[in-house]
Amino acid sequence: MALSGIQIFKMLPKKNCKECGCPTCMAFSMKVAQGALKIEQCPHVSSEALEALSEATAPPMKTIKVGTGEGEYTLGGETVLYRHEKTYVNKTRYAVSLCSCMDDATIDAKIAAIPAVDYERIGERMHVEMIYVNYGAEAGADKYLELVKKAVATGKTLVLGCDDVEVAKAALEIAKAVKPILNGANASNYEAMNALAKEADVVLGVSGANLDEIYDTVAALEKAGNKNLVIDATGASIKETYANAVQIRRAALKDQDRTFGYPTIVNTSKLAVKDKYMQEALVSLFTMKYGSIVVVDELGYAEALPLFGLRQNVFTDPQKPMKVEPGLYPLNGADENSICLTTVDFALTYFIVSGELERSGVPVNLIINDAGGLSVLTSWAAGKFSGTSISTFVKENIEGKVKSRKLIIPGKVAVLKGDLEAKLPGWEIIVAPLEAVQLVKFLKDMKEAGEL
Amino acid sequence: MTLFERVFNGNDAVYGLTEQAIDAAIAQHGEEKAVSFPNTAYCLPCYYAVTGVKVTNLKELKEALGVVKTLMTREPRLNDAFMSGVATALCAEFIEALKYIDGATPYEEPLYGHLADAVIRELGVPLVTGDIPGVAVILGSAPTVEEGVALVKSYQAQGILVTLVGGICDQVAEAGMATGANVRVIPLGKDVTAVIHVVSVALRAALIFGNVTPGDAKTLMEYTMQRVPAFVNAFAPLDDVIVACGAGAIALGFPVITNETENIARVPKSLIVQEDVSKFNATSLEARDIKIKITNIDIPVAFASAFEGEIIRRGDMQVEFDGSRVDCAELVHTVDASEIEDHKITVVGPEVDDMELGSKNSIAYVVKVAGKNMQPDFEPVIERKFHNYINCIEGVYHTGQRDMQRIRISKNAFAAGFRLKHIGEVLYASVKNEFEAVVDKCEVIIYTDPAECTRIRHEVAIPTFNKRDDRLNNLTDESVDVYYSCILCQAFSPSHVCVVTPERLGLCGAVSWLDAKATNELDPNGPCQVITKERPIDERIGEYEDVNEAVKRLSQGALEDVSLYSIMEKPMTSCGCFECICGIEPFSNGVCIANREYAGMTPLGMTFPELASMTGGGVQTPGFMGHGKHFIASKKFMKAEGGIERIVWMPKELKEFVADRLNQTAKELYGIDNFTDMIGDETVATDPETLVEFLTEKGHPALGMDPMM
Amino acid sequence: MPFNRKPQKFNASIKEVTIGCGEKAVTLGGENVYPFYSFDGEITNAPKVAVEISDMGVPEVAGLKAYYEGCSTMAEIAKRASEMEGADFVCLRLEGGDPNGANKSVDELIAVVKEVADAIDVPLAVEGCKNVEKDGELLPKVAEALQGKNALILSAREEDYKSVGAAAGLAYDQKVGAESAVDINLAKQLNVVTTQLGVKPESIVMNVGSAAVGYGYEYVVSTMDRIKAAALSQSDAMLQMPIITPVSSETWNVKESMASEEDMPEWGPVEERAISMEIMTAAADLACGSDAVILMHPQSVATISKMIKELV
């Protein structure tokens, strides 16, 4: 059971020394309780308190870091099974699968295709983050090492899928500087793999014939002092893999079984061999249910657009809604003479409103100002979508760019009309319908009436 | 002759006729002859609904008549009269069924006779949805054709389904009125027995829409009573047969309204004498508790939320009313239903036409309401909506409330024909629509006569406001039987449940116990639910078994238990909308409170947003709690930890806002004068050390209290 | 030491609702474990896949045109849809009724409904045009026209649950789809008032709101997660109705599925994007508890039904 801030506070020396960076011990305690700071950051904490607290405040699921530099990703560290209980913290990462069993031309083509997907969506860069480099034993060690070299050259973060200790050793020689995951430990080789991973200081991936075997291997590795692990949950079938992924996460978070408190890898390339569409279904399924890294054959735009959208939604903090950047968004080829319409910066509102505006086909300048990422009525009630905030934004950012002096405001804040008319001289303030879905007709009617 | 005797006589007469008719039919066709109504799966629907037995031929019909006879007991008791009424109805069904033997078509246009199942399914849907608000059964001949037609049309205009039996059928035909199911006026037949065809509709509706098991007479009658909003208008003269039929209608829950005065006994809510036929409509609707939805407000300008933000400037203004300068008031007043004429709007004093352009005038409007579920506690809730209602009128502007409202009417609105009586129309329609659950009748009186306005303001409104304020001040958690939940915020804070009590309003500051109570009455399935508090666990911290159960249920199991008066033990959760957060400040044994508007640092070492991030989300955080501003002066504010004496710091602005009430509470509870002077603020300290120095200097009581943890 | 499994078994279960008649009738719900948690207990009825067709005919999508090639009437389209690999039932969307669109008359749409119903032997769901006033008029007529078919009528909403619920659930004995907007309390409230109307809980299927992934989909996830939790762990009878989620009507209307290749050359073929959007949204819906999804493209239907079979 997690400790409350008060319980932590009681065990501190209460000096208010500020050396931890917090103004008071109470503030520090609350942040430790939230998991934002670690108890070790208190310079004055007694060793007994430290011991008692580190055990109690240790997260049920480890946070594992892989990769380096910009490609360093944090996996795991989750505290809840459902996002509404608090929030998910570290998003699923996707790896494109390469195998030394592929011919060179295929490999080169796949590597060449990886950088193609790279775009921004609501402030987040979307691209292929990882490559899964699979060892196809029949192609031999050299071919694999060649492939590892090529993969390192992409600059992407790597997962080395190789359970042959010797080959893995050679591969690590090539790749260890980029901090890949060595996904190769199992019941029969874990001691040797552990030595390799430790020596190269990389994360070790553990797999097994079934959950019990995985459990025992993880326990043995922990006993050998390695807690820098991930678990490969991929089983013989889709059904088994799903059962693995769910039960591993559930054991860690709900039943406090720390042995399973590690991030997981799910390899859909193995579950749905060469079945692109099934892989699409599975990558979505395992994003929802507990894959920390999901491996796929292909991640072109067709896959990326929905997948990254899904991930961005699922991993958003329920307490902090997604926001779009304030600014002027011309839609349907709007120019400086097109009518203006404003709404809040809450991402969902923005998407719904811009979607309806696009459907209307009417050129509109959509104006978004900072409304705290809240919905229309909420931000209005909080004073963040007010006559003052809208008029200030329009004067500072819009009047110089747009000649139209007609501004449509959301129907739910019709009450702002008078205030806006007073604060925006020369502008005609028009009240839109209550729901976004009525915008298409509203704009078409305005157009027919020649009011645009 | 008593009413019982009349019912029994009428029943006996119909029974005799039925027996003869069945015997004659058997003699003519033989026992095996099939009897049925066309296009129904329910055989003889009324008999089937009441007994569960299907009658298919004359032999079974004769047996059924034997069963009917057993209903005809003759003790002078209410139940005997009702059962005889039902028996009369069943006899009528048998007589009508005989008319259809051999596929005969006894009814010709425009008369309907028996109605097919398909018609019932079609009419049943709008009946269930309330689109057909009621079913009128008009029986006999109106005193004149004009009166009859006027009555039918009055119902038709309200969307009520009208069925006609007897002479009224000829009367509407004579007047050339269009009839038929599509215009919701259905002439059934000229014999009194044709009334069974509408009873058949009601009973089949119970079987189809109510899932009532045929033969379960008790549930059947409950269904017709509660769900079929039918009533009977029977014109004089009433013979015994009609009286017996009326008893059957009353047994099904349908009141009978008649203009017969001879030899009739009045039964409240059931048998009502209304001599004035023009008032049949109002009397019937009231008796059957039918409310007509107002879909269209009859005013010469638009009424929509799009006009809510419209501001009328001085130059565009025809007249204004200003409570800050002259006597004005707006008031909802609960009265008995008998004191109200629904939809009456009166203007006492000059209309806008008689006022000088640009002048400042008095206005006082009193909205009288009555309703079975109306309580004076809802008056302020309704009143607070006046601002929205009046503001939604195109060209009319409203601010303020109680006796400080200001209204402007624009020149354009005036030119379009807008007058003060239209404010009455708007108030009437809006109150009736939005508060349908509690307001049955509504009347508006608008005073503009200055002397009357002065009288209303000082003799009626202000005493009412004072009484309400007293009531609010005297409402304590102990003085009420129930609390209310509020889960409005669950959309973004899924496990949060506010428990709203008289002394602890919702933490957003917007939902008081009275608001929650009204919300619950108006929308019983809505966000505010009743929480009982009958099983206390710990009075000190305010923990109740029933409150815990409610919180657990409403949070879908996320929260097991809460206390109402402690911030250390099982504190109430916070959603994120809180006006303030209080947090424990261990060095002074007290709590600091920060309000949302305060942007600076607190002696806790955390700002409001930092506090908010750890307190919100519907999670219990001992030592920290969100709450409304008004809760600060409550005697229940962290009562378990010693109450408001624990408050050691607040931002200056907040302190000033709550000072009067907080000082008063401190005086009452602890005998401390000017308590707020002892409380620190950001001008004194934003760190615990300086704060403790300040508190020591002032002798703040918290320093001497037991540690909070 | 072996892994200590702690299955989550619930005493409560999702109610079973059967749509259609005869051999091909389908039953939604019945499970007493979380979505696809077959390791906790048996999944009583696998989630189902419906194929969406529209009164407006086959959309201008090459793969759809190819699949429905040669179909010139709604009857033929419906029949072909019902034979799609992986399809359990057909959902007819009456989008042509939208007063802001084609604004077809109720009579015209009822004729389509009858034509479709007569052409197929699988169960039928009928979805309105989303316009509340029109649906309030149209859907009761649909319920009437489909007497004896045990069809699912989508949807009764807060605004029109009385007319749709009374017609579908009471007058004509169909199944009622109760549609609310991604909020557990609204979903529950609608079920409460619909049952108060007299509709049996066993006749209600919920549509708790849907979205394409990327478009506020987090609300869909949390709403469904919370409903399933309340239904199973809290035994909340007013949330135990099975959930149906229209997927295609959302996913085919977002930019990712509509922007042409000319406008977005780097995005590649539009149909592939739309299929991918449909598959991923459907898989996510099923992962958070949908008992049925409505899809349009044959590839999506085949893939998702195969995924369901693999998981159950």
Residue in chain C closest to B119 (alpha carbons) equals: C171
pLDDT at B113 exceeding the cut of 50: yes
Residue in chain B closest to C186 (alpha carbons) equals: B526
Predicted confidence (pLDDT) per residue in A384-418, tens digit: 898 999 999 999 999 999 999 999 999 989 889 98
Q: From chain C, pick out residues whose CB is under 8 angstroms from the CB of B131.
A: 163
> Interhelix angle for A276-288 vs A301-314, to 10°?
10
Domain total in chain A: 3
- Tell whether C146 is covered by a domain: yes
My answer on whether A236 and A163 are in the same domain is yes
Answer yes or no: do A307 and C268 touch at CB < 8 A: no
Q: From chain A, pick out residues whose CB is under 8 angstroms from the CB of C256.
A: 305-306, 309
Which CATH number fits the domain that encloses residue A382? 3.40.50.11600
- Tell whether A127 is covered by a domain: yes
Answer yes or no: do A247 and C279 touch at CB < 8 A: no
- Tell whether C2 is covered by a domain: no
CA angle, residues A194, A195, A196, in degrees to nearest 5: 90
In Å, how far is A444's CA from the nearest CA of chain B? 18
Q: Which residues have C-beta within 8 Å of that of residue B536, sequence separation ≥ 6?
A: B543, B544, B545
Residue with tokens 């501190």: A12
Does C311 lie at the interface with A, CB-CB under 8 angstroms?
A: yes
In Å, how far is C173's CA from the nearest CA of chain B? 9
Interface test with A, best of C280, C293, C301 (most A CBs within 10 A): C280
> Interhelix angle for A276-288 vs A238-253, to 10°?
10
Answer yes or no: do B525 and C234 touch at CB < 8 A: no
Alpha helices in C234-266 (DSSP H): 248-251, 255-258
Q: Which of B308, B605, B616 sits opposite A415 (nearest CB)?
A: B308
My answer on whether A271 and A122 are in the same domain is yes
Residue in chain A closest to B601 (alpha carbons) equals: A23
Predicted confidence (pLDDT) per residue in B535-556, tens digit: 999 999 999 999 999 998 888 8
My answer on whether A67 and A183 are in the same domain is yes
In Å, how far is A428's CA from the nearest CA of chain B? 12
My answer on whether A217 and A296 are in the same domain is yes
Domain total in chain C: 1
Interface test with B, best of C133, C146, C162 (most B CBs within 10 A): C162
B491 — pLDDT class (breaks 50, 70, 90) = low
Residue in chain C closest to A346 (alpha carbons) equals: C216
B492 — pLDDT class (breaks 50, 70, 90) = low
My answer on whether A275 and A306 are in the same domain is yes
Answer yes or no: do C234 and B556 touch at CB < 8 A: yes
pLDDT at A3: 75
- Tell whether C3 is covered by a domain: no
Does C46 lie at the interface with B, CB-CB under 8 angstroms?
A: no
Q: Which residues have C-beta within 8 Å of that of residue A240, sequence separation ≥ 6?
A: A210
Does B524 lie at the interface with C, CB-CB under 8 angstroms?
A: no
Residue in chain B closest to C193 (alpha carbons) equals: B525
- Tell whether A321 is covered by a domain: no
> Between β-strands B536-538 and B543-544, what pairing exists: parallel, antiparallel or unpaired?
antiparallel
Q: From chain A, pick out residues whose CB is under 8 angstroms from the CB of C307.
A: 238, 278, 281-282, 285
My answer on whether A20 and A110 are in the same domain is no
Answer yes or no: do B617 and A431 touch at CB < 8 A: no
Predicted confidence (pLDDT) per residue in B423-441, tens digit: 999 999 999 988 988 999 9
In Å, how far is A174's CA from the nearest CA of chain C? 33
My answer on whether A202 and A280 are in the same domain is yes
Predicted confidence (pLDDT) per residue in A328-346, tens digit: 999 988 999 999 999 999 8
Answer yes or no: do B621 and A4 touch at CB < 8 A: yes
CB contacts under 8 A, A 65-104 vs C, are 82-84
My answer on whether A77 and A12 are in the same domain is no
- Residue A140 sits at φ, ψ, to 5 deg, of 90, 160
Answer yes or no: do C276 and A121 touch at CB < 8 A: no
Listed range (A266-270, B45-49, B104-108, C98-102) with the worst mean pLDDT: C98-102
Q: From chain A, pick out residues whose CB is under 8 angstroms from the CB of C279.
A: 277, 280-281, 284
B663 — pLDDT class (breaks 50, 70, 90) = very high
User: Which residue ranges form the domains of chain B, and what is each CATH number?
Assistant: 3-103 (1.10.8.190), 117-288 (3.40.50.2030), 305-466 (3.30.1650.10), 482-704 (3.40.1470.10)
Domain of C66 in residue numbering reads as 18-311
pLDDT at B597 exceeding the cut of 80: yes
In Å, how far is B557's CA from the nearest CA of chain C? 7
Domain of A9 in residue numbering reads as 5-57
- Tell whether A440 is covered by a domain: yes
Predicted confidence (pLDDT) per residue in B228-244, tens digit: 999 999 999 999 999 99
Query: If you ran DSSP here, which 8-state letter would residue B236 be given?
Result: S
State both tokens at A255: 């039943």
Interface test with B, best of A79, A348, A349, A415 (most B CBs within 10 A): A415
- Tell whether A397 is covered by a domain: yes
Answer yes or no: do B583 and A9 touch at CB < 8 A: no
In Å, how far is B698's CA from the nearest CA of chain C? 50
My answer on whether A50 and A109 are in the same domain is no
Predicted confidence (pLDDT) per residue in C162-181, tens digit: 999 999 999 999 999 999 98
Which CATH number fits the domain that encloses residue A50? 1.10.15.40
Q: C61, C40, C44: which is closest to C52 by C-alpha?
A: C61
In order, the DSSP letters of B393-410 are BTTEEEE--TT--EEEEE
pLDDT at B1 exceeding the cut of 80: no
- Tell whether A12 is covered by a domain: yes
Check: complex ipTM more than 0.85? yes
Q: Which of C183, C193, C197 sits opposite B491 (nearest CB)?
A: C183
Which comes out higher in pLDDT, residue B493 or A218?
A: A218
pLDDT at A347: 82
Q: Rounded distance, CA B606 to CA B59, Å?
A: 90
Q: Rounded distance, CA B61 to CA B35, Å?
A: 8
Q: Which residues have C-beta within 8 Å of that of residue B387, sequence separation ≥ 6?
A: B398, B399, B400, B401, B405
Does B618 lie at the interface with C, CB-CB under 8 angstroms?
A: no
pLDDT at A117: 95
Does C277 lie at the interface with A, CB-CB under 8 angstroms?
A: yes
A164 — pLDDT class (breaks 50, 70, 90) = very high
Residue B261 burial (CB < 10 Å; 0-12/13-18/19+)?
exposed
Does B295 lie at the interface with C, CB-CB under 8 angstroms?
A: no
Residue in chain A closest to B391 (alpha carbons) equals: A415
- The mean pLDDT of chain B is 92
My answer on whether A304 and A218 are in the same domain is yes
pLDDT at A1 exceeding the cut of 60: no
Which CATH number fits the domain that encloses residue C304? 3.20.20.20
Which comes out higher in pLDDT, residue A221 or A351?
A: A221
Q: Which of C3, C282, C302 sits opposite A215 (nearest CB)?
A: C3
Answer yes or no: do C171 and B124 touch at CB < 8 A: yes
pLDDT at A2: 63
pLDDT at B204: 94
Q: From chain A, pick out residues whose CB is under 8 angstroms from the CB of B586.
A: 9, 14, 26
Percent of chain B with pLDDT over 70: 100
Q: From chain C, pick out residues whose CB is under 8 angstroms from the CB of B208.
A: 170-171
Phi-psi region of A140 (alpha: psi -120 to 50; beta: other; left: phi over 0): left
- The mean pLDDT of chain C is 95
Answer yes or no: do B494 and C222 touch at CB < 8 A: yes
Q: From chain B, pick out residues whose CB is under 8 angstroms from the CB of C166.
A: 124-125, 128-129, 209
Answer yes or no: do A416 and B583 touch at CB < 8 A: no
Q: Which of A82, A215, A250 sits opposite C2 (nearest CB)?
A: A215
Does B307 lie at the interface with C, CB-CB under 8 angstroms?
A: no
Q: Rounded distance, CA C146 to CA C295, Å?
A: 22
Q: A94, A29, B419, B62: which is closest to B53 by C-alpha?
A: B62
pLDDT at B692: 94
My answer on whether A307 and A340 are in the same domain is no
Q: Mark which of A265, A287, A314 sits at the end of a domain.
A: A314
Answer yes or no: do C189 and B526 touch at CB < 8 A: yes
My answer on whether A30 and A80 are in the same domain is no
Interface test with B, best of C234, C236, C239 (most B CBs within 10 A): C234
- Tell whether C212 is covered by a domain: yes
In Å, how far is A30's CA from the nearest CA of chain C? 27
